[in-house]
Structure 1
Amino acid sequence: MNHPEFNFTRKSIMTFLNASHWKEWISSYEDIFKIIRCYTDDVKNASMVINNYLRKGEFIVFDLTKSKDDPLAIHIRFNTPLNMQKEIEARQKHKKKVPQLMSRI
């Protein structure tokens, strides 16, 4: 699949992202956001999901040769699909529950 934002070719197989890359790319978050934008419109929440996995010592693989609908287009390690939309929804649900719990205290 060709992503016009990057003019990727089939030779661009995978982009690996781990915690050290995340820190090194602080000056170029925009580059990371461009990759994430290929898979979701909610870049902010997607980056929070990715950051959460990176803090756990995981690494994320963006397989640019797969279609956006392919479960392994984004995966954790080598073979665990990352359903970005499901993760974002779970994060938003959790975010809504926290203020409710705090109001009970």
Structure 2
Amino acid sequence: MSIDTMAPIPSASAEGSTADALPRTRWAAIVWGAVFATLAGLGLWLLIDRDRSDAVADWALGMTPGTITATVLLCIGALVLVSGAVGLIRHAQRRHSH
């Protein structure tokens, strides 16, 4: 490919004020990454010790249908909460950039 056939690079004056703008921070990735890292750390902490691992197994085997339903609803609520927080952060970031 020769240099003559390449598309021209836009100049800084053509870009206007976007040349001075900083790249956007992807807050959703940071928040979800922190949530998953926390869950992974908690899982490792629970499973690394034999006593804690046995306690988790006893707790899981002793769950009733009501506690299973409550746990599932709690997990769904936590996902909705994190999603809402990410949405608020994104909204604030967009409002701040304009």
Q: TM-score, normalization: structure 2?
A: 0.30
- Higher RCO (C-alpha 8 Å, min separation 6): 2
Q: Could you say which structure has the higher helix fraction?
A: 2
Q: Could you say which structure has the higher strand fraction?
A: 1
Q: TM-score, normalization: structure 1?
A: 0.29
